[in-house]
């Protein structure tokens, strides 16, 4: 694990985004941990979050990406932060765009805001945490309708490594179905490894009991085979 990944895990904990306890996901699963990216709420957090995405993009896709796309609504601040950090820290001035939930029927019209993808462009989607993959699939269909552009990468903050509608994880489903490269900043197993009996600001968030609960959850809902 790289230093920026370890820093990102601690950052999520300190921001109240990664929490531990008893939760119920939208799908009805009982989970001992929860990742709520809606808890990012300050300028400092937004800037640092953009830095972590940019570090992942620079590491995993140093070339081969022409445009960044953030699905509305949570993806909008993520794509702006990532694009800004890529330019500020790495000198990569990639254009970015995002979609409207409803197409505009006046003025310039259309469903896209910002950069207008051109034929041959290679697109990277910037998302938070993918559960069912619905928003990502909608984004992929959106670009398919635009014509000769190709979504090559998907960047997410964390991979929960949970089973989707098939025996593999949701992210693996997206890899298989669309042939895209999926790049999480961290995975849940990396989170366990980084925090197990290792305190953050004097508090241990994943002790032996919590690790056992998380492992049991992954054994039940992780990929089969």
User: What are the tens digits of pLDDT across the range 59-105?
Assistant: 999 999 999 999 988 899 999 999 999 999 999 999 999 998 765 55
pLDDT, residue 106, reads 46
Q: Residue 23 is inside which H or E element, if any?
A: strand 18-24
Residue 82 near residue 47 (C-beta atoms within 8 A): no
| Catalytic annotation, pick one of 104, 116, 150, 203 | 104
Tell me what percent of the residues of the chain surpass a pLDDT of 70. Answer: 96
Average pLDDT over residues 203-213: 98
Tell me what percent of the residues of the chain surpass a pLDDT of 90. Answer: 77
Does the pLDDT at position 107 exceed 80?
A: no
Active site residue 104: yes
Helix (H, G, I), strand (E, B) or coil at 5: helix
Active site residue 106: yes
Does the pLDDT at position 25 exceed 90?
A: no
| Catalytic annotation, pick one of 106, 150, 196, 203 | 106
Q: What is the pLDDT of residues 189-200, one digit of tens each?
A: 999 999 999 999
d(C-alpha 82, C-alpha 80), whole Å: 6
Average pLDDT over residues 16-33: 93
> Does the CA dihedral 147-150-156-159 come out positive or negative?
positive
Q: What is the pLDDT of residues 132-175, one digit of tens each?
A: 788 889 898 888 887 789 999 999 999 999 998 889 999 999 99
Does the pLDDT at position 206 exceed 60?
A: yes
DSSP 135-188: HHHHHHHHHHHHSS-EEEEEEEEEE---B-SSSSBHHHHHHHHH-PEEEEEEEH
Supply the pTM of this predicted model.
Answer: 0.93
d(C-alpha 18, C-alpha 192), whole Å: 12
Alpha-carbon distances of 123 from 68, 111, 173, rounded to whole Å: 6, 16, 19
Tokens of 144: 């398919």
pLDDT, residue 104, reads 55
Average pLDDT over residues 13-23: 97
Domains and CATH numbers, the chain: 3-221 (3.40.50.2020)
């Amino acid at each position: 694990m790289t230093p920026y990944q370890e820093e990102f895990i601690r950052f999520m904990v300190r921001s109240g985004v990664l929490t531990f306890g008893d939760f119920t996901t939208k799908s009805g699963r009982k989970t001992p941990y929860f990742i709520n990216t809606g808890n990012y709420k300050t300028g400092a957090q937004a800037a640092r979050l953009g830095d972590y995405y940019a570090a992942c993009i620079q590491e995993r896709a140093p070339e081969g990406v022409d445009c960044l796309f953030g699905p509305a609504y949570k993806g909008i601040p993520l794509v702006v932060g990532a694009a800004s950090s890529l330019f500020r820290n790495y000198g990569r001035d990639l254009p970015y765009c995002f979609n409207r939930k409803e197409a505009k029927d006046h003025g310039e019209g259309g469903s896209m805001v910002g950069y207008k993808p051109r034929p041959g462009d290679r697109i990277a989607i910037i998302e938070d945490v993918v559960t069912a993959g619905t928003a990502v699939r909608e984004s992929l269909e959106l670009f398919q309708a635009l014509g000769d552009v190709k979504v090559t990468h998907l960047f997410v903050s964390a991979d929960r490594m949970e089973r989707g509608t098939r025996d593999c994880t949701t992210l693996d489903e997206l890899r298989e179905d669309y042939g895209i490269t999926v790049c999480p900043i961290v995975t849940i197993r990396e989170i366990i490894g980084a925090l197990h009996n290792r305190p953050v600001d004097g508090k241990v968030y994943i002790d032996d009991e919590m690790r056992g609960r998380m492992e049991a959850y992954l054994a039940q809902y992780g990929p089969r085979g």
